[in-house]
Amino acid sequence: MNPFGFLRVAAATPLVRVADCAFNVEHILALLRRAERENVNVVVFPELAITGYTCADLFHHPVLQRGAVEALEHLVKDSATLFSGLAVVGLPLVVEDMVFNCAAVLHRGKLLGIVPKSFLPTYKEFYEARWFAPAIKANCRQIDLVGQSVPFGTDRLFAAEDWEGLTVGVEICEDLWVPVPPSSMQALAGATVLVNLSASNETIGKATYRRQLVLSQSGRCMAAYVYTSCGVGESTTDVVYGGHCLIAENGLLLAESRRFLREDALLSADVDLDRLRVDRQRTNSFRDVNLYPGQERPFVRSTFTLGAQSVRTDLRRPIEAHPFVPQGQEQLRERCEEIFHIQVAGLSKRLEHLGIPPVVIGISGGLDSTLALLVACKTMDTLSAPRQRIHAFTLPGFGTSNRTRDNAHALMRLLGVTAREIDIRPLCLEEMRALGHRPFGIDLTGLSVEELVERLHRLPPEKRHDLVFENVQARMRTNLLMNSGFVIGTGDVSEAALGWSTYNGDHMSMYNPNCSIPKTLVKFLVDWAARNEFEGEVRRTLLDIVDTLISPELLPAGADGQPVQATEAALGPYEVLDFFLFHFLRYGAPPEKILFLAERAPFQRPYSAAELRGWLKEFLRRFFANQFKRSCVPDGPKVGTISLSPRGDWRMPSDAQAALWLRWAETG
C-alpha cells in the first residue's frame, strides 16, 4: 500500500572514525533505529561509510578489507530486526583481486545487491584510481558475501513489489559529476528514486554547485534524488568534509542539512511518487532518448517488500498554500517582471501583426481588468505608441458599486488612456423588454431605469437570483466593446476553470493577456505593481482595487450601493480554489489527495475539513460542467505551468462526466 504516493526517504551522516569499522557500524545502526522510529522507507549512508572515505593506502590492507566485511555482516544481521525499510551503505570490497568502491543495498537482513562505483576521480585532491577499480573492470555478476549469494554490478535496480512506482537506482559520488551519470540511464529504465553515496569535500562555493547539480539531475530524470555525504569525522590531512545532505524531487529542493555537524544526523523528507509518475506519463519525450550503439544498458530488478503503510499525517515536505505565487522578495521581483514581459510580448506581437490598431478594454475597477490595462499600457510604451490608443470603457450596470466605478475612472485618468463611460442600464432594459423577460418577476412595461432600480433595491435577498438579468448585462458590455475595436480580454484562468463567466460575454475577446494567470496571482501582481512601480494616487487606487470585494456586480446593489454578490461566498476562497486547480491540473491529483494536502496547507486563515470538502466538490462539478466555454476561448499567452487553452495544454471533451471524481465526495 502506498497512501497518496508519499515515500519517506532519508540521507544519513553518521559519526565516523577513519578505519574503525566497529565504531562506524554502531553509529550506522543507531541511525537505522532512528529512521525506523521516524517511519523512513529508504535511507542512504555516505560513500565508504563502514570504513571511512579517507583510508587511502589502508584500503589495500587485508585487515581493513576483512574488517569491512565483518562489519557489514554485523550490520546485515542486526538491521534485520531494527529497520524495515531499504538501506544503502558504502564500503570497499575485494572482488577478483580488485578493490571496488561499493554500495551495499540491504533489506531486512538480505543483501539485495552490491553496486560498484563507475567513475573514479583522479584529479586535484582525489586519487581514487590508486586504490579502486572502476565498475567496468568487473567480470562477475554474482558474489558470495556474508553467507549470501549477492548480485554485483551497475545493472541493478531495486523495486518494491507492494509499492507501485517505487524503483531505486544507486550511484556513487563522482558518478553524478560526469556528463551522462548512471542515474540518467537508471531513470530511463524506470527508477523513480535515485540515491547517491558521496564523499564530496568542502571548498568555497562547492555546496552551491553541488545543490544545483542535485536539483538539475532530479529535474532531468523526473525523479527523487537523495544525496548524502561524509561528515567531519573524516581525516583532515588535506581536506575537510561537511556532511552535506540534499533531498530533491523533480527540480524542487525538499530538504537540505546543516553542514559541519558533530553528531549523527538524519535528514528526511516525503517524496511524491505519484507526482513523478504523472509527469513522466505526460512528458512523452522522456524515454525517447536514442543511445549510441553499445550504450544500451539492460537493467535487472531486485525486488523487496516494504509492507503496508498508514497515511502520513506528519507530512515532511513543503506544501505551498499559494502555489502560483512566488516566495521570497528577490524571486517575487524576478517573477513579476517575467510575467509582465510574457504578457506584453504576446500582446505586442499580435498588435504588430495588425499594424498597431487602437485597442478597446472594459474597465470594471476590479483586479482582472486592472492587470489587463497595466499590460496594455506597457505594451503601447514598448511599441512606442501613445497610450491614448487604448480606448478604455467603464460600463456601469445595475450592480455597479460607487467604489469600483470611482476606481475605474481614477485608473483610466491616471494612466493617460482614452476614457469613456457608457451606462448600459437603458440598453439592457430595452433588450429585456424585447425578450419579454420579467426580471425577478417585475413587469417592465412603462418602467424607467430609475423606477426599475428603486424596485430592485427593495428586493429581499432571497429573490435576487436571475441569470437572464445577469447575462444581458455581460453580453451588452461585450457587444459594445466588440463594436468599438480590437478588444483586449481580462478574464483569468481561475474563472475559466470554474466557468465563472457569461458565454460570449466577458468570456470572449480578440486577445486575452490574462488567460493563463490564476486569480491569486492576478491579485498579487496588481499589489506588487502598486508597491513597486507606482507612487501617489496611482498606488492608492491600485491598493484600493486589491482590497475590493471580488464580485461580478451584475445583481442589484443593496440600498447602501454596495454589491450583494461576493464571488468567494458563492464558490469558495480563491486561494483554496487555485490550490485545487494547481494540484488537479498540474499533477492530476485525485480529490482525496487534494483534500489531504489542503487540510495541511498554511492558508491565510484556517478552514475546516467540511468547508474544504464542500468547495472541492463544487470545484469539480463546475470544472466538468463548463468545458464547453473553454473549448472556444481567444488567443492568449501561456504564462505559468497551468493553461486551459484548447489549443495548448488542456484538451477535454465538453461532455466528459465527473462521476468518477465526484464519487469520492459521496464515499470519502
Do the strands 167-172 and 193-198 form a parallel or antiparallel pair, or are they unpaired? parallel
Which are the contacts of 367, defined by CB distance < 8 A and separation ≥ 6? 519, 522, 523, 526, 545, 546, 548, 550
Residue pair 245/214 in contact (Cβ under 8 Å)? The answer is: no
Three cell numbers, residue 617: 466538490
Residue pair 615/571 in contact (Cβ under 8 Å)? The answer is: yes
- The C-alpha atoms of residue 405 and residue 295 are separated, in whole angstroms, by 67
- The C-alpha atoms of residue 258 and residue 242 are separated, in whole angstroms, by 9
Q: Produce one character per residue of 550-581: b if its CB has 16 or more CB atoms within 10 Å, e if not.
A: bbbbbbbbbeeeebbbebbeebbbbbbbbbbb
Strands (E), 458-513: 486-487
Given 55, 102, 173, 428, the catalytic residue: 173
- The C-alpha atoms of residue 523 and residue 503 are separated, in whole angstroms, by 24
Which are the contacts of 378, defined by CB distance < 8 A and separation ≥ 6? 340, 344
Phi, psi of 377 (to 5 degrees): -65, -45
Three cell numbers, residue 337: 517582471
Q: 210: closest CA among 263, 256, 170?
A: 256
Tell me the CA distances in angstroms from 556 to 220, 312, 432, 435, 455, one per residue in order.
Answer: 54, 48, 15, 20, 10
Residue pair 316/8 in contact (Cβ under 8 Å)? The answer is: yes
Let me know if 137 is a catalytic residue: no
Given 21, 55, 102, 117, the catalytic residue: 117
Given 47, 128, 171, 553, the catalytic residue: 47
Q: What is the DSSP letter of 130?
A: G
E strand or H helix at 170: strand 167-172
How many CA atoms are closer than 13 Å to the CA of 557, on its beta-carbon side? 18
- The C-alpha atoms of residue 241 and residue 574 are separated, in whole angstroms, by 47
Q: 111: closest CA among 159, 166, 155, 73?
A: 73
Q: Produce one character per residue of 482-500: b if its CB has 16 or more CB atoms within 10 Å, e if not.
A: eebebbbbbbbbbbbbbbb
- The C-alpha atoms of residue 321 and residue 411 are separated, in whole angstroms, by 31
Let me know if 523 is a catalytic residue: no
First-residue to last-residue Cα distance in the chain: 18
Sign of dihedral through CA atoms 281, 284, 286, 292? positive
Q: Annotated active-site positions, please?
A: 47, 117, 173
